[in-house]
Amino acid sequence: MTRQDVLNGIVKILQDVKTVDQEALKKVSEDSDFIADLGLPSTELINIIAKAEDEFGLEFEDDDVDALGSKVADTIDLVMRTQQPAK
């Protein structure tokens, strides 16, 4: 899975969230902020992370979720790290 695949999955998740600025989704990028740029309430961010786990078939560590920033890139980084097989 590429970073672009993850970004597309996040956009798909956000399309179903009524509080997200749907116009802003048209130009979402890794630099976008869920709260400042997309209008997502900070309390809703944890639900987006849970939906990302379902979307990508992953389970995130609680500590990783707790340390997560509000940038789209932060979530993409988390997905990319989590999908890597342990060495």
Question: Is the pLDDT higher at 85 or at 58?
Answer: 58
Question: What confidence tens digit (pLDDT) does each residue in 36-63 have?
Answer: 999 999 889 999 999 999 999 999 999 9
Residue 21 has pLDDT above 70, yes or no: yes
CA–CA separation, 27 vs 79, rounded Å? Answer: 21
**Vertex 55, ends 87 and 7: CA angle to 5°?**
85
Residue 8: its pLDDT value, please? 96
Domains of the chain: 3-83 (1.10.1200.10)
Q: Which two tokens stand for residue 46?
A: 């944890």
Q: Report how far residue 22's alpha carbon sits from residue 63's, in angstroms, rounded to the nearest whole number.
A: 30
16 token code pair = 């179903």
Q: Is the predicted pLDDT of residue 86 greater than 80, yes or no? A: no
Residues 6+ apart with CB under 8 A from 57: none
Is the pTM for the entire model greater than 0.85?
yes
